Every structure is written in structure tokens, then in C-alpha cells.
Amino acid sequence: MGLIIYVNGEFVPEERAMISVFDHGLLYGDGIFEGIRAYYNRVFKLKDHIDRLYDSARAILLDIPLTKEEMAEVVLETMRRNGLREGYIRLVVTRGVGDLGLDPKKCKRAGVICIAASIQLYPEEFYKKGLEIVTVPTRRNLAEAVNPRIKSLNYLNNILAKIEASLSGAIEAVMLNAEGYVAEATGDNIFLVKNGVLLTPPSHVGILEGITRNTVMDLARARGIPVEEKLFTRYDLYTADECFLTGTAAEVIPVVKVDARVIGDGTPGSITRTLIQDFRELTKTDGPLIFPE
């Protein structure tokens, strides 16, 4: 039995979940999205994701035809229609149907799509042993071009970096900004630990300000771990005591080698392991219920 997909006000079987070939989301990547997780019959950090979706829409002058409350209910109902208490939700808002020109004013109404399914980005062994990643030539988009804080449908910048990582035999890539500072991975934020301090790049360096990123910083502060948002380079990665990535799909995943440099002792560090555990505990209680208990 296939999935039930929300498309522009209707819940339809996946084989009928279609959009027009004139939708500017398809033609030009003109739109926005959120990736959201559900755990233990709750949609994790749903309000934060909805708020970020609407911030992205405002930044590109995209009028979403639903209120935030209505959008949250679309997410919950999509989970219910698929009988899911855990999973991954992809919420997409396109500019809508227009013509073959670029003018967004030709698109009369935005399109809204919600998909709920299962996901496993990395095998469990990587959470125990850690990832080996590389830096790549493709630089992160300039904030003055396509600002990375907008979670847009145009992910070609990230995809090119992912291709470079794959060609080098790595599972993930670290992207630098135009000045050579560490920005983020292709789909995740990056953290390092040095002398007991948790460090991550600030939003102005050219990153998507991740929901999981912000959650992990809050968890660290609650543990009394100092947290700093500051610029750093590959040298700081190479000489870090610990390193890990964060993202909705990836959650919190250790990194044990960058560009063939072993991080720390080559195993996930104690702070990383603590934050993985704290994050997993939080997923048990955060977010609105999908099905009444």
C-alpha cells in the first residue's frame, strides 16, 4: 500500500500526487521546504520548523495560502493518514503554476505539498564509530546571492559538494565559505569541541540555522558546557578534540576523521556521546501528539 500525500488541499494516493510542469518550484527551484522528524507519536520541534518555513517564505516574498496553525495541522494529519507515529516529513511550498518566464507574479497561488515516510540517513554503526568526511572545492553560497538561511528548493550548491565528496570516496562533505571559513556540511551543521568548549559557525558565515543545531546548543548549555558561535578554519577542525554534525535527518552524528586527519583519539568523544543521548531523550517528550493518547 502506497503513501497518502497532501497536495494543495487534498490527501491523495502517491501515484496521484502530481504537480503541473509549469510549477515554478519544478522549473526554477522557486520555493521552500522543511524536513521534520516525528518520534514516539510526537512531531519534534514542529513550531520551530513552521516558524522557519514562514521566515523563508517572507524572505522570498512567497505568500503561503495557509496559516501557521493550518500548516501544522496538515503535517499532523498527513502522519495520521499514513498511520505513522515516527518518521520523516517533507513539507514543500512552491511558487505555484506560472508560465515559462521567470516572473513570480505570473504564479497566482503557491502550492503546498506534505509527504510523510520513513528515513534512515546513516546506519547505526556510524553513530557508534563516527564518520570520515572531507572538505570540497565547491564553496557555500554567498549570503548576497542565495542566502543559505533561506531553506529553498534550489539545493544545487549542496548537491555539487555532495558529488565531490562521493567522488573522493567520502559519505559527507564540509563546505567552506568564500573567505575560507568552515560553513557547514551538505545537509547538516557542524560542531567541534576544543578544550571543553563547544564551537559552531555563526549564521552570518553562510549556513542554514538548523533546528537541531539550536537544540543541541541549548542541551549543551543545560549541561554547563560552554558554547560559542565563532569563525573557524580547516586547521581548527584538524586540531579539534571532537567533531560532530547535526541535522533533522542525521540527528547528532560523530565525525572521527576530516581530510584524513584523525579527530581526537579517532573515536566519538565524551561530549558528543552525551549530547547524542540528551537529544534522543528530548525526542521522547517534545512536540505535539499525532494520535491522542
Where in the sequence numbering do the catalytic residues fall?
151
Nearest Cα residue to 30 out of 94, 118, 125, 83: 94
Nearest Cα residue to 263 out of 283, 229, 238, 230: 238
CA dist 112 and 96 (Å) reads 9
CA 192 to chain centre: 18
174 — phi, psi (to 5°)?
Answer: -100, 130
CA dist 70 and 204 (Å) reads 31
Q: 129 burial class (0-12, 13-18, 19+ CB within 10 angstroms)?
A: middle
